[in-house]
C-alpha cells in the first residue's frame, strides 16, 4: 500500500511551538507541503512576503473571500487570516500531504469542508511555559502579548475536539510524535 496524501491541520495557542515543530518536520520530510496563509496583519521584522504570509489589505482579503478563493478564514487577534484553496491544491495535486498551521476557528471550518482532514493540537506542558515562550520569542508588544494570552486560554479549550494532541515539552520528542502522526494517517 502506498502513502496517501492527506491534509493535516496543526493548531495551538500562540507561542506553543507550532512553527518550530512544523519547520523541523519539513526539514526531515521536504516533500510535505506547508501552506502560506493570507493575512491582513503587517509583517514582523524578518518576515517575507509569500514565504511567511501573503500580506493583504482588508479590501483585497474581502474581494478574495467574495470570489470564493479561501478554503477557510477567520478573525484572529484583531486581523483576518485565511488559507487559499490554491495553496492546498498545489501540494495535493502532486500527491504530497499538506499542513495547515491555523487557529481553532479555522480548524473547525476545515473539518466541515474537508471531513477527511486530520486535526492535530499542540499543547504547552504548562501555562507558565507558554507565557515564557511567547515572551522569550520577543516578537510581540506588551498589548499584543496580552491579547495572545487571553486568546490562548480559549484556544486550549478546543484541544479535546482534535484528533491528536501533542504536548510540546521536549522538542525532539514532540517532533518525533508529529512525524509518527503524519505517517500513521498517510498509511491508514
Ligand atoms: P508558535 O508558532 O506556536 O507561535 P513558535 O514556534 O514561534 O510558536 O515558538 C515560540 C517560542 O518557543 C520560540 O522562541 C521557540 O524557539 C520556542 N520553542 C518552541 N518549542 C520549544 C520547546 N519544545 N522547548 C523550548 N522552547 C521551544
Ligand atoms: P501570527 O500573527 O502570530 O502569525 O498568527 C496568529 C494566529 O493566526 C495563529 O494562531 C495562527 O495559527 C493563526 N493563523 C495563521 N494563518 C492562519 C490561517 O490561514 N487561517 C486561520 N484560521 N488562522 C491562521
Question: What number is the average pLDDT over the span 15-39?
Answer: 96
CATH class held by domain 7-186: alpha beta
Distance CA(77)–CA(86), nearest Å, equals: 25
Question: What number is the average pLDDT over the span 15-33?
Answer: 96
Q: What is the pLDDT of residue 50?
A: 96
Q: What is the pLDDT of residue 3?
A: 82
Query: Which ligand is nearest to the Cα of residue 76, counting in written order?
Result: 2
Query: Which ligand is nearest to the Cα of residue 40, counting in written order?
Result: 2
Domain ranges, ordered by start, for the chain: 7-186
In sequence order, the 6+-apart residues with CB closer than 8 A to the CB of 157 are: none
What sign does the CA torsion over 160, 162, 164, 165 have?
negative
Atom in ligand 1 nearest the alpha carbon of residue 138 = 14
Residue 49 in this model has a pLDDT that exceeds 90: yes
Question: What number is the average pLDDT over the span 106-130?
Answer: 96
Q: Distance, CA 105 to ligand 2 centroid (Å)?
A: 10
For the chain, percent of residues with pLDDT exceeding 90: 92
Q: Distance, CA 175 to ligand 1 centroid (Å)?
A: 12
Chain segment 66-77, per-residue pLDDT in tens: 999 999 999 998
Amino acid at each position: 500500500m502506498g502513502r496517501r496524501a492527506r491534509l493535516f491541520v496543526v493548531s495551538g495557542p500562540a507561542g506553543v511551538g507550532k512553527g518550530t515543530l512544523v519547520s523541523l518536520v519539513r526539514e526531515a520530510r521536504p516533500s510535505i507541503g506547508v501552506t502560506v496563509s493570507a493575512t491582513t496583519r503587517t509583517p514582523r521584522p524578518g518576515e517575507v512576503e509569500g514565504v511567511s504570509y501573503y500580506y493583504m489589505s482588508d479590501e483585497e482579503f474581502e474581494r478574495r473571500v467574495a470570489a470564493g478563493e479561501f478554503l477557510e478564514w477567520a478573525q484572529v487577534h484583531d486581523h483576518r487570516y485565511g488559507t487559499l484553496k490554491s495553496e492546498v491544491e498545489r501540494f495535493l495535486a502532486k500527491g504530497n500531504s499538506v499542513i495547515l498551521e491555523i487557529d481553532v476557528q479555522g480548524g473547525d471550518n476545515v473539518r466541515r469542508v474537508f471531513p477527511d482532514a486530520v486535526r492535530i493540537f499542540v499543547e504547552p506542558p504548562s501555562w507558565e511555559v507558554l507565557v515564557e515562550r511567547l515572551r522569550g520569542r520577543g516578537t510581540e508588544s506588551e498589548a499584543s502579548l496580552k491579547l495572545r494570552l487571553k486568546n490562548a486560554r480559549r484556544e486550549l479549550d478546543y484541544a479535546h475536539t482534535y484528533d491528536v494532541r501533542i504536548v510540546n515539552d521536549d522538542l525532539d520528542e514532540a517532533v518525533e510524535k508529529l512525524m509518527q502522526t503524519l505517517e500513521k494517517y498517510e498509511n491508514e
